[in-house]
A and B are shown apart, each in its own frame.
Chain A
Amino acid sequence: MFTVLTIMSAGIILGYLVRNKIELIKYVDHAIRVSIYLLLFLLGISVGANRTVMDNLGSLGFNALLLAAGAVASSVGLSYLTYKMFFVTDK
């Protein structure tokens, strides 16, 4: 995974250098979309071929929803404090 992070960092630097080549950037955005489709398609295949995952899809989904609810509730709650303490007062 560190390989991936290095590759991404190299991408950021290269992207910064070519930031004025608008045609190229448009092409990159398109390529990102296509590779996300491809990767999720591949993830779908490996999930579908995995019996243990398929047999537990219901409970995996339920756990996922609980985690999402916890993440949203807690970050929204904390954001309310940040908002009241730092963002409303100096108006």
Chain B
Amino acid sequence: MKNSLVIVGFFALGVILAVTSLVPDAIIKNDLSAYALYLLMFLVGIGIGADKKAWEILKNAKLKIVLVPITVIIGTMVGVAFISVFLKDISLRESLAVGAGFGYYSLSSIFIGQISGQALGVVALISNISREIITLLGTPLLVRYFGKLAPIASGGATAMDTTLPIITKFTGKEYAIISVFSGVVLTILVPFLVTFILKF
């Protein structure tokens, strides 16, 4: 949670500096973010590749555990597709791309902002942060009424890190492994799915 606040803080700082025209035009005109994104994705890749616990869990996963991220993907896509019917400013394709962030708001907002422009980037940021917050606050209720997979589904990609402690607390160790597995799979898929949805 603290880390999320710092991230939102940096975003807000950027907005404030730009609105108050304190940023040199050079930074706004020369979009540095593409290069920064290349660097980030390279580092994220290394982080995933070097995550021994994740590889261990991926290797020893029982077949039915694969159903969990599949459930989250299908559930999310159906949900955002349904909502997009009521949104006049956001198309079905854009809604699906926002949904394909699966709560990984830092990466998805940057990615979607690069491909589709800042407006949708902001939607992706707010929408995916909300997903994390809903999971952090709602896990006790979700588990009680919808079973132990519910917070893992709600948390999406965040189920491997930021929402893992609360999920583990309310579902137990066995589900912590399922949670990490689902989160890792979704985290790896985010950049691929977002690109695929917006480019095809």
Contact = CB atoms under 8 A, between A and B. Distances in A.
Contacts of B191: 1, 4-5, 8
Best-buried of A50, A57, A81 by chain B (most CB within 10 Å): A50
Interface of B is mostly: helix
B106 A36 contact: yes
Given A72-B154, A82-B149, A46 B28 contact: yes
Given A45-B14, A80-B149, A40 B109 contact: yes
Contacts of B147: 79-80, 83-84, 87-88
Interface in B103-129: 106-107, 109-111, 113-115, 118-119, 121-128
B89 to A, nearest CB: 7
Contact of B99 (A18, A45, A71): A71
A60 B113 CA distance: 13
Contact of B18 (A12, A45, A73): A45
A48 B16 contact: yes
- The interface size bin for chain A is 35 or more
A86 to B, nearest CB: 5
B61 interface: no
A7 B167 CA distance: 32
Contacts of A10: 42, 45
Interface of A: 1-5, 7-19, 21, 25, 28-29, 31-33, 35-50, 52-54, 56-57, 59-61, 63-84, 86-88
Q: What 10 pairs across the A-B complex have the smallest Cβ distances? A: A11-B45, A44-B14, A15-B49, A48-B18, A74-B79, A75-B75, A79-B153, A70-B83, A15-B46, A64-B126
